[in-house]
Structures are given as structure tokens and as C-alpha cells.
Chain A
Amino acid sequence: MIAAEHVVTPEEIMAYRDGELSAERAEVVAPHVQSCPDCQDMSEVLGDASQVLASWKIAPLASDASFERRLSEMAASSPAAKHPWIGSRLLIFGRRHWFLGGLLGSAAAIALVVGMVSISAQRKQVVTVAVRENRPLAQSLQTAPADEAPPSSEESQPQEMQHSRVRAELDAVTAQRDALLQRFQMDQMASNLANPREATTMPQPSAPMIARTVSLSLVVKDFEASRLTLDAILARHRGYAANLNASTQQNAARSLQASLRIPAADLSASVAELKALGHIENESQNGEEVTQQHADLVARLKNSREAEQRLQAILLQRTGKIGDVLAVEQEIARVRGEIEQMEAEQKSLEHRVDFATVDLNLAEEYKAEMGTPSPSISTRFHNALVVGYRNARDSVVGFLVFFAEYGPFALIWLAFLAALAWFLYRRWIRATSLTF
């Protein structure tokens, strides 16, 4: 539009029209525009553009008296009007440090969650007792939580006495049972030593060998009494608990899961007594016949023993090369290993037949205690203060432990994600700041 020989640029003509040109340049541009037809045209075109834009009229805003009045009221009650000397720092903190505030709020929320989780985990008192095989059940039933608050009412005293008396009787019965069992085992060992051949071939059952399994789910009213009765039943029938888990939660139904081993002969009587403990929810019985399996095992065991005897005879009577002797010894060792393995299998099988398995699931019929006498107000306040102090301490410790454990890891990722978010946010701000 403007030829190269013009001494002014089109932008300068525009700035001259807008009154934005410096006085020094205006002295140059003004005479040139007056004398140059092209530049005059340019100036007029720019002026026309402004005129056209001026035709874009906006309807005036209707006077909003309510907002004006509200603004006046807010202005009168604003910190600037009331306390001109304060506010700036508060406003700066409130508006500019929102990110810091959000960060602190998030940290506080995380701390609160961690504290609550740690407290709830500590409150959940689950007592689990695992009883090893051949261990008296009475020892494993001492599962009452030690830190549980003792009942303060007088009603609990006769119940305690009754429990202690039953326990004493139970301990006596258990000791008697253990003595009998020990004596029986010693007699059996002596018999085996006296006639080993008979001992190995002793289980020659004429009746079918059946490994029995019973599964029982019961709901009982008195959980403590049922546990004691269960122990008494086991002692009476010379059974034992291979595994026992008792769950004692406060303000919740208690439960017990046990895997019992009961002599097969006493199984029916034991199950009948167990059923009498409470309401039966589920019952199943299973019998696996292992007669053939046992007979095969016995036959293979007999053959292996005979083979071992023959090998030993060969080793004693014959002479030959060292290599042959060593080969015979290796064969004896192999056969001996097989014999021991089969003997273990045989014992396990016979044990499964001799002792039936009873999987017992005992649950308490829980009743929420409405009418229990509550402790005095001072005691409740004292307890609440103690619990509150413990909770506060545990939450602080839990938070510190959590922060020590995950803090560095979280900080690294937080810094990385914050930097990434800040970068994306700035890009987004730049991209959207001037777009319609």
C-alpha cells in the first residue's frame, strides 16, 4: 500500500492518527501525510475502520439499584471501611496462598485418615489361638483378652467363680486324659518292641477302613460355657483340637473355628454331644473308604521289608568286589527309604481312620446389651479422657510412622506431579486467556 520511498511506515501513520506517536516523529510524519496522497488514503482508511467499529453500539446497562445498594452496604462493612490498617495481609493470604492452604488442608486430611485407620486397627481386638496337635485344649482356651475392661457389676462375680470352678475340673480331667494317653502310648511302644513283626502287620482290619469327616456349624447362646463344654467333650472322648481359632471382638458376636480329632469309635457320641451345644446351622458328614489303599500299602511294605532282608543276607553271606558290595548297600538304603516313606503313609492313613476329623464352627448368638448398668459419669469421663489421650497419641505416632515410611516416596511423587500440573496449568492459562 505504501511505497518503499515513503519516509514513514504505515504503523507510524496509524500511531499519528491515534496520537500515540512521539513528538519528534510526529514532526516528520505530519508534513509527509499532508503531502503524500497514498499516506492520506491510508490515514482515511484507518479512520474509516474506527468509524465502522464505532457503529457497534451496546445497549446501556439498566440501572441496577439493588446491586448498587448491596455494593454500598458491602463497601461500608468491608475491612477497608472498618479497619483500613488490616486486611491486606489477610487478603493476600486468603487469595494468593490458596495453593498453600490446599496443600496444608490435604496434609491434614491425610493425617486424619491415617490416624483414624491406626486407631481402628488397634481397637479391633481379635484373639486367635492356634493349638498344635497333641497339646491340651485347656491351655489354648485361655484366650480372654487381657486388656479387656473387666465387668464392673456384681453379677459378673458368680459367673467368674463358676467359670473358674469348671476350669479347675476341666484341668483335672485333661491331666487324667494326658496320663492315660501317655501310658497307652508307652504300652503300645513296649508291645511293638517285643514283637516287631506283629507290630508291623498289626493293622489287618477285617472291617472296611473309613476316614470320617464331619462339618458342623452351630450357634450357641452362652459362648463361654460352650467353649468349656467343648473342652470337656474332647477330654471325655480322648480327642484333641488340631487347630483352634477364637475371635473375641468387643460389641460383636464371638466365634470359634476348630478342627477336632476324635477317636472314630467315639465319633457318633461326640457329634451328638456337640450338636447339643446350640442350634445347628449346617451339618455334613463324609466317609472316605481307604481299605484298598491301606491293603496295597501293607502289601508293598511287606515286599519291601522282605527285599531288605534278602539284601542284608546277601551282604552278610557273600563276598565279592568292593563295587558289588557298595551297590548292594545302595540298594539297601533305597529300599530302607521306601520302607520309611510307606510306614509314614501307613501311620497317616491309620490315624485318619482312627481319629475322625470334626470341623466345628461355633458362633455366638449375639444380643446387644441395652440394659447393662452403665458406669458412673466420672468414670465415663475418666475413661473418655484416657481413650482420647491414647487416640491422640496413637494418631500422632501413626502419622509420624506413616510419614517416615511413605513421606520421602510421597514427597518425590508429589513434587513431580505438582511440577507437571503447574506446567500444564500454565500452558492451559496461556492457551485460553485470549480465546473466545
Chain B
Amino acid sequence: MNQTPTNPASDEKLMLAFAQGSPEALTELFRRYQQPIHGFFRRRVTDPARAEELVQETFLALLRAANRYEPRALFRTYLYAVALKILRAHRRKTIFRAAFFGRPEAAPDPAKPDATETSFWVRRAIAQLEATDREILLLREFEQLSYAEIADLLRLPINTVRSRLFRARAALRQLLEAPARQHASEKIFPVGASS
């Protein structure tokens, strides 16, 4: 992700270049991280359209905050920190609106490619995890962040991140075992592996 054959410049250099007045650098960063950031939001927000809006908000925030960027950590960590802030703001707004207008329905759309049976059970199992455990698991499995980066993002001790990640994986395995038995589907989870 950091470097491509056609664009050898690192993410950090691109961000610094944009902060120093090169608009093309931001466009390149957008191309690199558009899909990962979309996956980040899509796995956490039920409404696909809203997820797309949050992607755009993230890059706009990046644009506005360019002058304050300091390459103290990986750009990827910085970008996910911005996305996490935007996600938190979105959740606060959602809760606030739900207090007045009610919570909107969050049923998955079967016509969507990500609404397969396997992903349905995975999403349901993940939704049952404790909030912090879930966030740590998602950041590790999908965003591929290191333990230290997760600890930095969530402001938790690194040992807490490790123990919670283990707890989340164990809980997820148990949550996925029941539907696996019910449907006798090998593609959901290999039941025999737990012994």
C-alpha cells in the first residue's frame, strides 16, 4: 500500500508534498486509500450511501488539516485516526437523531454483493461482541493495523489491546459455531478445528 511501482513516493512524502502546496499529492492519496477507507466505514455503518459520504468527509478533513500534519507516525495510522474521529462524530449524531426521530432500520440489502450468507453470520457475530473488542478486532483484521497502532488510536495500553483481541477472536469463534452447526455449512466455520 505504501508504495507502488508507478508512484514510488511514500504516503508520508505525499502528504508533506500536499502540505507544501502540491494538490496532485492529495489526489494520489485519495486513489490509494479510497477503497480501504470505504471498507472501514462500510463495515461500521449500515447505510452504504452514508459510508460513501463519510469517506468523502474523511478526505475533506485531511485536506483541511494538511497544515497541521506532522509525520510522527505512519500516514496510514493518521488517516485511520481521522476516519475514527469522523465515525465517532457520525455515531453521536445518529444517537442524537435517534432520540428524536427513532432509530432507522438497519436490515441488510440482499441484493448487495456483501450480503452473502457467510458475511451475514460474520456480521451478526461481530455485532454481538463488546464494543471495544469489536473495534480492536476490526482494526486488526481488516485495516491490518499493528497492536501499537491500535493502542495509539484507541488510547489503550498495548497489553490491553492484545488480551482484548484474543478475547474477541475466542468469542467470535464461539458465536460462529452455533450457526455452523445449524446449517452444517463447512464454509462458515470448521467446527472440528476447535477441539
Contact = CB atoms under 8 A, between A and B. Distances in A.
Contact of B44 (A11, A53, A82, A436): A436
A57 B188 CA distance: 14
Given A60-B35, A68-B27, A84 B122 contact: no
B13 interface: no
A377 interface: no
Interface residues of B, number: 68
B181 interface: no
Interface string B47-88: 000001001100110011111100000000000000000001
Interface string B31-46: 1001100110011100
A91 interface: yes
A432 B93 CA distance: 10
Contacts of B176: 52
Contact of A58 (B20, B38, B146): B38
A91 B67 contact: yes
B68 A92 contact: yes
A80 B26 CA distance: 11
A429 B173 contact: no
Interface string A36-79: 00000100111011101111111111001001100110111011
A180 to B, nearest CB: 79
A256 interface: no
A333 B146 CA distance: 107
A10 to B, nearest CB: 6
Contact of A84 (B42, B67, B140, B173): B67
B67 A87 contact: yes
Contact of B190 (A15, A18, A48, A434): A48
A95 B141 CA distance: 33
Contact of B38 (A18, A61, A433, A434): A61
Given A67-B56, A84-B20, A49 B172 contact: yes
A322 B57 CA distance: 108
Contacts of B131: 434-436
B118 A61 contact: no
A435 B135 CA distance: 9
Contacts of A92: 68
A370 interface: no
B125 to A, nearest CB: 9
A79 B95 CA distance: 34
Given A57-B113, A436-B131, A45 B163 contact: no
Given A48-B189, A88-B68, A68 B38 contact: no
Contacts of A44: 193
28 contacts: A11-B166, A20-B162, A41-B195, A48-B173, A48-B193, A50-B141, A53-B142, A56-B142, A59-B114, A61-B34, A61-B38, A61-B52, A67-B56, A71-B59, A71-B60, A72-B26, A72-B27, A75-B23, A75-B26, A76-B23, A80-B67, A81-B18, A82-B21, A95-B64, A432-B88, A432-B95, A434-B134, A435-B131
Interface of B: 18-24, 26-27, 30-31, 34-35, 38-39, 42-44, 52, 55-56, 59-60, 63-68, 88, 91-92, 95, 112-114, 116, 118-119, 122-123, 127, 131-132, 134-135, 137, 140-142, 146-147, 154, 162-163, 165-166, 169, 172-173, 176, 187-190, 193-195
